[in-house]
């Protein structure tokens, strides 16, 4: 099963966590700095564990607003 979600990210937060979920629009705090792709890697790692899915950022690699594809694992 595939699902596309929109995530608004706040980087350099004290802890990585999902702060709000409303349907396919999520807000997320990320502990990593928004430099050298660190925050994007942390988002992928966190969502992979939290959702038990393969994660791919489709849009917004350099933006706070990201479009992410979640593909459930079998």
Is there a contact between 46 and 66 (Cβ–Cβ < 8 Å)?
no
Q: What's domain 2-72's architecture? A: 2-Layer Sandwich (3.30)
Task: Per-residue pLDDT tens, the chain, 74 aa: give them.
Answer: 999 999 999 999 999 999 999 999 999 999 999 999 999 999 999 999 999 999 999 999 999 999 999 999 87
Structure tokens at 34: 């928004």
pTM recorded for the entire structure: 0.93
What letters, b where the CB count within 10 A reaches 16 and e where it falls short, cover 27-45?
Answer: ebebebebeeeebbebbbe
CA-to-CA dists, residue 41 to 23, 55, 74, angstroms: 23, 10, 23
Residue 40: DSSP 8-state? H
């Amino acid at each position: 099963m595939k699902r596309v979600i929109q995530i608004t990210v706040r980087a350099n937060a004290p802890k990585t966590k999902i702060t709000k979920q409303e349907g396919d629009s999520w807000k997320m705090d990320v502990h990593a700095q928004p430099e050298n792709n660190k925050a994007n890697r942390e988002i992928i790692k966190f969502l992979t564990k939290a959702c038990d899915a393969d994660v791919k950022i489709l849009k917004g690699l350099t933006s706070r607003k990201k479009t992410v594809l979640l593909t459930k694992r079998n």
